[in-house]
Amino acid sequence: MKNKVYLSGQFAKKTDVGKVRLTNEDRVLAVTNLKGNVLLVVCDGMGGSSKGDLASTLATDLLRDEFQNKKGFLTRAGAYHWLTSTIRRANAQIYDEAYKNPQYKGMGTTLTAILIVGNYAVLAQIGDSRAYTIKDSKLMQMTEDQTYVGYLYRTGQITEEEMKTHPKRHVLMNALGIYPSLEIDARIINYEGEKFLLCSDGLYNNVSNRDIEAILKNEDSVDEKADELIALANANGGSDNIGIVLWEVFK
């Protein structure tokens, strides 16, 4: 079974403005190319009205266009290089746009991406959007939040409960487009047909891990699951925009 290729699946991609924000700065992407590779992306824009939405749109548009023109990946290293280098191009594009237009100064975006190529995938993380999977029937967070409170938690200075109410819980340590150079947390993982959920903090700040896990494990379609997650986030306050990409292979 080691070399079995999982390319046949379905995805849902949805955003919602939530119950508090006036504009939606989240952008999502789920596309396949001619080789049947799959690219999943969630971006949560930052910088306020007309800024965050532009940054997240620039990032997802560039990744979509470059991916759909890509004819495939010959090696794992090649797939890793393509994803990280394309993300760096998106960073440069956002930074240059803000440099040329003072009204866009300070704009940026988070970015969480998974590129699935046969029996492996490349995971890339910038900021505090997240990727989850189900492993041994349990919800597993695949990414680390690149935030100040995430750093405090990982270094043992605060507890997981204190993270939820810390006054600096929204301070990012990394974002796309803020600086000319960029640090990307990226790695290659083996892929055996797991389902993936990518989401912005508007979901996980309003829906518990227990409820996310229960919805991902039910028998509804991917579209129904995405709708259920968004509805629950809004029912629990809808404190931010909600961006979701859900991928499942056909059984």
Mean pLDDT of 194-199: 97
Q: Of all residues in the chain, what percent carry a pLDDT higher than 70?
A: 96
CATH code where residue 226 lies: 3.60.40.10
Segment 28-52, tens digit of pLDDT: 999 998 888 999 999 999 976 569 9
Please indicate, yes or no, if residue 3 is contained in any of the structural domains.
no
pTM, two decimal places: 0.92
Please indicate, yes or no, if residue 46 is contained in any of the structural domains.
yes
Give me the number of domains the chain comprises. 1
* Ramachandran area for residue 127 (φ above 0: left; ψ -120 to 50: alpha; else beta): left
Round the CA-based radius of gyration of the chain to a whole number and report it.
Answer: 17
Please indicate, yes or no, if residue 1 is contained in any of the structural domains.
no
Q: Which two tokens stand for residue 115?
A: 């590129």
Residue 49 CA to residue 147 CA, distance in Å, equals 22
Tell me the residue range of the domain where 60 lies.
Answer: 9-249
pLDDT score, position 241? 97
